A = this chain, B = another copy of it.
Amino acid sequence: MKQISIYDTTLRDGTQAEEISLSTADKIRIAGKLDALGVDYIEGGWPGSNETDRSFFQEIRQYDLSHSRIAAFGSTCNPKGRAADDANLRALVEAEPDAVTLFGKTWDLHVTEALRVSLERNLDIISDSISHMCAHAPEVFFDAEHFFDGYRKNPDYALACLRHAHEAGAKVLVLCDTNGGSLPFEVREIVQTVRAALPEAQLGIHTHNDSETAVANAVEAVFAGAVQVQGTINGFGERCGNANLCSIIPNLELKSGGRFRCLPEGRLKLLTSTSQFVSELCNLRPFMRQPYVGKSAFAHKGGVHVSAVLRNPETYEHVRPELVGNEQRVLLSDLSGRSNILFMAKKYGYALDKNDSAVLDLLDEVKTRESQGYEYSTAEASFELMFFKAMGWSKRYFHLINFNVVDSMREGFTEPYAEATVMLKVGGMVEHTAATGQGQVNALDVALRKALTPFYPTLGEMRLEDFKVRVLHGVMRDSGGTASVVRVLIESADATDRWTTVGVHYDVIHASWQALVDSINYKLFKDDPKKFPVGGKHFPQSEPK
């Protein structure tokens, strides 16, 4: 089995993505996750280019990484000077990384148009920079920028650049498809040709996704002999992104017939959680359709697929989701059939018949509510409440009488003032409370819990973890204003569980109210010792987990 070296550049090339910006603390946390995943190299940044990157290298030295080596990125020396006097190269050495990656020009157009030097001078720059760096850093890699474009235009020159880097001591020559324009067959052919021309050199591959073939290009390069793959978690990166390590790694480990290994034994199953962690720190909504690690990657919607996949997962799943730490999901949706409801019922401990009228009623209700914008595949707690209601559970923990929220801005004040009042009945008692908050939804949440906690002390253990707002209809109403329908998802947690609830309304406060009420009801329901209807129509077949 051949070991492929995984070189992660999320912290450098990944942060070039349009919506991403990371602090030093974020970068340190991501580096910890990458080390746990077991990538061989973590490229921390370009110490010569900015303060955040410089401080990362200082900080990361305080950490004991178990597996990964830290790489620093930089350019070959300034064309006007020598490597020995170059400030950028000095910054790389001072960062004290375990490895240095220098990028250099290999496309004649870039040499003359961007660097504005002769082709000959660029070869000197490469030799001078690489050999200087080899004397000052433990390992040196050469990123051959625009290699594939350069090779297509002037193959002899592109190869000459590689040869100079190799002879100057670069450990790996990394062929970069910087503009992402290459197709898999071109990458395969060019990697094969380069291998034949430089048989003693080790090759790496660095691709971008502008043709939507970055993963395929990297995989083809490895099958053609490359030993190092550069990419990013989730394919984050400038323009269309870099090669996505979350797809390349399982493609190589699970689909090469045992030919390649990328991560230490047992780490592949950390892939999904690593992907989610990085999305979260980058503050990007995870891409649901992302292969292997996305929330939809093993989600089944069509009724026919669902019944087949429940019998035998191989029928509609290319790999077992557990291998990459993901899980199979069955979606509750307007396209779904009764088998999806039965799947959920079973999860809650009920073995129902598909012709049970409760199943049909529930399916009807799900379809109606989804057409209004409710979304139960995420908000499973809201579905669970509906499900148990359909099973005969009718207890109401409290009853709303009124609520009122106010938000105002006054001249001379820099902060807005938000206040909520809530009037509700618990058993026979009327509670009327008020609270202020950071925004109205927060004020409403505080007031609601203030009213209920005396009756239900376990609400004190519960916390609201996340709050998502989505405008469902992109277009305004005819009334000519900002009145769209919004969906609010609230994620809550206590010491043992984590649950999501949903609300939909044109008024964001009312959508939030629905989700808040479901969340509190779910907490009270799950803690309720009398949870199951006695003498009702439906009984659970086993205790729900």
Contact = CB atoms under 8 A, between A and B. Distances in A.
A470 B217 CA distance: 34
6 contacts: A110-B308, A110-B315, A183-B216, A210-B291, A400-B411, A437-B481
Contacts of A445: 481-482
A468 to B, nearest CB: 5
A327 interface: no
* Most-contacted residue by chain B among A109, A185, A294, A308 (CB, 10 A): A185
A367 to B, nearest CB: 10
Interface stretch (A84-92, A384-392, A508-516, A520-528): A508-516
Interface of A: 15-19, 21, 109-110, 113-114, 178-181, 183-185, 188, 209-213, 215-217, 219-220, 223, 235, 237-241, 244, 247, 251, 255, 280, 283, 285, 287-292, 294-302, 305, 308, 311-312, 314-319, 331, 333-335, 370-371, 375, 377, 400-411, 416, 418, 437-442, 445-446, 463-477, 479-484, 486, 490, 505-510, 512-513, 516
A226 to B, nearest CB: 14
A248 to B, nearest CB: 8
A513 to B, nearest CB: 7
B406 A411 contact: no
B406 A406 contact: yes
Given A238-B301, A318-B210, A404 B402 contact: no
A498 to B, nearest CB: 13
A476 B462 CA distance: 13
A17 B289 contact: yes
List of 7 A-B pairs having minimum Cβ-Cβ separation, nearest first:
A181-B318, A216-B216, A438-B483, A442-B481, A212-B247, A439-B507, A404-B408
Given A408-B405, A445-B481, A475 B469 contact: no
Given A239-B297, A240-B290, A294-B240, A469 B508 contact: yes
Contacts of A16: 301-302, 335
A312 B181 contact: no
Contacts of A241: 289
A255 B479 CA distance: 48
Given A302-B16, A406-B405, A483-B438, A509 B416 contact: yes
Nearest to A466: B474
A299 B439 CA distance: 35
B335 A15 contact: yes
Contacts of A464: 476, 480-482
Contacts of A331: 18
A407 B509 contact: yes
A218 to B, nearest CB: 10
A278 B472 CA distance: 15
Given A211-B247, A308-B114, A438 B184 contact: no
A165 to B, nearest CB: 20
Contacts of A439: 482-483, 506-509
A217 B213 CA distance: 9
A44 to B, nearest CB: 16
